[in-house]
Amino acid sequence: MFSRPKKNRQVIVDRQILHLHQAMAEKCLTNPDLFDEVLNNLEHKHQLNFIGYGSYLLWHAILEARDNPHTFKELLLASDSRTKALRRKTIFGGVLSEAEREAVLTTYIASELA
């Protein structure tokens, strides 16, 4: 069996997470009421200490930009290591249905094979 080095696996996971966040961003921008659920997720994760105060502030800054879709997506989908780490502990859980999530990942896999 072929084993990928840990770094390569992390890169693949980060790409998958990025694609999922692209889809979640589009869905939230199309259905702004979903931002209420996302904000509730943020508050809940913060209260349970699942995310630190710095991450809490970054998520808030991203969400505050939602009235400017370009800026919102730019912040949410940034390629820096801090934002990648932030997306790994996403507050956007529940935005996509399982079918939507599978479709995004299928599209991602197809794009990698092309």
From the list 106, 100, 88, the residue with the least C-alpha distance to 28 is 100
What letter represents residue 5's amino acid? P
Q: What confidence category does residue 1 fall into, taking pLDDT thresholds of 50, 70 and 90? A: very low
Q: Tell the burial category of 5 from Cβ atoms under 10 Å away from its Cβ (0-12, 13-18, 19+).
A: exposed
Evaluate whether residue 102 is within a structural domain: yes
Summarised one tens digit per residue, pLDDT across range 79-106 is 999 999 999 999 999 999 999 999 999 9
Question: Cα(11)–Cα(45) distance, rounded to whole angstroms?
Answer: 25
Left, alpha or beta for 4 (phi > 0: left; psi -120 to 50: alpha)? Answer: beta
Evaluate whether residue 43 is within a structural domain: yes
Evaluate whether residue 89 is within a structural domain: yes
Q: How many domains does the chain have?
A: 1
Summarised one tens digit per residue, pLDDT across range 46-91 is 999 999 999 999 999 999 999 999 999 999 999 999 999 999 999 9
- What global pTM score does this model have? 0.88
